[in-house]
Amino acid sequence: MSNGAELHPTPIEGVLELRTQPFADHRGAFLNAFRAAEPAFREAWGEKAIAQVNLSRSEAVGTVRGLHLQAPPHSEAKLVRCLRGRVWDVAVDLRTGSATWGRWQAVELSPDLGNALLIPEGCAHGFQVLEASSELLYLHSGAWVPEAEAGVRFDDPQLAIQWPLPPLGLSGRDLGLPLLESRP
């Protein structure tokens, strides 16, 4: 069926791009979005449970969502895959004591690329829509705990994220997130 997945490390420890080649023929295509027993998936995800699966759809090009995470003790890992469209997916290292604390990494995700981004516990996640009506699939290692919601502003000058398009469509919640320097 489909070819095996490959892990591609990023400069931020634990943030991994997972590339999976779809099997395609005259009928369409098939892609293993997650297979716990496959070595690349097992290395990336480990023994974590999948506590929650979410779908997100964003209509307008330029829309930014994030940068979100769950605060300890409710930290969670996320595996994010684009099912439709294209997004610029961003992980920000907010792990206390990490050698890459305050650094960000971005990867374009799309069905054509067949890739996903693993965001480990303690890293914030956000994305920008590059193609209208983009849809994301998220696997979460922990359950959503509303009082553990945390994050940092998308336009934090200390992070200096270079969004590929002018950021649009931010929610009031995202605009109210703190700057990195004022996070607890």
Annotated catalytic residue 68: yes
Catalytic residue among 8, 26, 68, 74: 68
Q: Are 64 and 92 in contact (CB under 8 A)?
A: no
Catalytic residue among 8, 125, 138, 140: 138
3-state secondary structure at position 139: strand
Determine how many CB atoms are found less than 10 A away from the CB of residue 51: 13
Annotated catalytic residue 138: yes
Q: Rg of the Cα trace of the chain?
A: 16
Catalogue the E-assigned strands of 11-170.
Answer: 16-20, 23-25, 28-30, 52-58, 64-70, 78-84, 87-93, 104-109, 115-119, 123-129, 134-140, 149-151
In terms of C-beta density within 10 A (0-12 exposed, 13-18 middle, 19 or more buried), how is residue 153 classed?
buried
Q: Show which residues are catalytic.
A: 68, 138
